[in-house]
Amino acid sequence: MDMRSYRMLSLLPLLALQACITSQDMLLRSSSRLPLPLGTIHVLPQDSGMILQGSLAVSEQSDKNLPVGMSLNNSIFGNNTGNTSQALGPSSISTPSTQISTQVSLLLNQHVRFGLGIEGTLEHAASWIEVGLRGGREISIEGFWAVGAVPVHSNTLWQTKTYDPQYSSYSGSYVGTDTTITTRTIDTSASQGFYRFGVHISRRKGGGPWLEAQMASIALLPATPTTVDQWGTTLTFLGLGWSEPTHLGTATAYARAVISKGNVQPIFGAQWNGEIKLGN
């Protein structure tokens, strides 16, 4: 055996030791700021057939911190490092006090909706694509699903424990484990993914009262300090209001509530819908 081969063999225990080093990231606290991607109210068009509908809404809400629960969403690549992460401390989100939302929808015979929308402020806005299906005669029931991206700025405090098994070349075995604890604060600004689904219930014709319920899953934190784990939250949105058709379009006033961990954040807004009939 030549000297080069001997050196390679001598490195094998060290390589095996390096592979055994693991870390655990613990989230001690986090706060995130983002525009809430609630979308516009799903108002029915006044006409039938193929309709191009435009919606514009302005809402007001509190910009105070709303406590949220954090859930683990592994990235599409998986946690291939062997390291783990946990959320231990409090997490919260805050939103702009004023948000503008707009959506353009193509409605096919009032039963199918394809939509593109944005919501937020002039500086930071979420965007999405949406599909909806509607049924019912006297009472309209529309189910919808949307997926998109939202800009999120997060400030997090992480504590990382690194476990380093100690190998003795003298005995040829592991003789213990060194544990190193580090704490770091991380600021991130990134475009994160979200999806939401919901249902809208209203009168079929003539406007009037309506109810809407949604759930949204929003990614908040990118990869942790030593893993590829991603963390996000799930929010519930409830809404009610009144829509009034006019010869200039449909006017809507609404109130919404964001519900998270037993806390409620109210939102109040107004919306206008215009439409153009495509074809006969």
Q: For residues 198 and 96, what is the distance between their CA atoms, to the nearest angstrom? A: 23
* Residue that the structure tokens 């870390």 belong to: 23
Instruction: Quickly list DSSP for 209-278.
Output: EEEEEEEEEEEEE-S-SSS-EEEEEEEEEEEEEEEEEETTEEEEEEEEEEEETTEEEEEEEEEEEEEEE-
Closest C-alpha to 41, from 200, 184, 181, 258: 200
Flag whether the pTM goes above 0.75.
Answer: yes
The pLDDT of residue 129 is 98
The pLDDT of residue 77 is 46
pLDDT by residue for the chain (280 residues), tens only, comes to 554 444 444 433 444 444 466 888 889 999 999 999 999 999 988 888 899 999 999 999 987 899 999 998 755 444 555 568 888 889 999 999 999 999 999 999 878 999 999 999 999 999 999 999 999 888 999 999 999 999 999 999 999 988 766 655 665 555 556 678 889 899 999 999 999 999 999 998 878 999 999 999 999 998 788 887 889 999 999 999 999 999 989 999 999 999 999 899 999 999 999 999 987 6
CA 206 to chain centre: 35
| Cβ contact 154:32 at 8 Å | yes
The pLDDT of residue 8 is 41
Tokens, residue 142 = 């529309």
Q: How far is CA 30 from CA 1, 58, 90, 196, 204, in A?
A: 56, 28, 7, 23, 44
The pLDDT of residue 190 is 92
The DSSP element (H or E) to which 11 belongs, if any, is helix 3-20
The DSSP element (H or E) to which 19 belongs, if any, is helix 3-20
- What 166-171 contacts at long range (C-beta under 8 Å, 24+ apart), as own/partner pairs, is 167/13, 167/14, 167/16, 167/17, 169/13
The pLDDT of residue 76 is 45
| Cβ contact 30:156 at 8 Å | yes
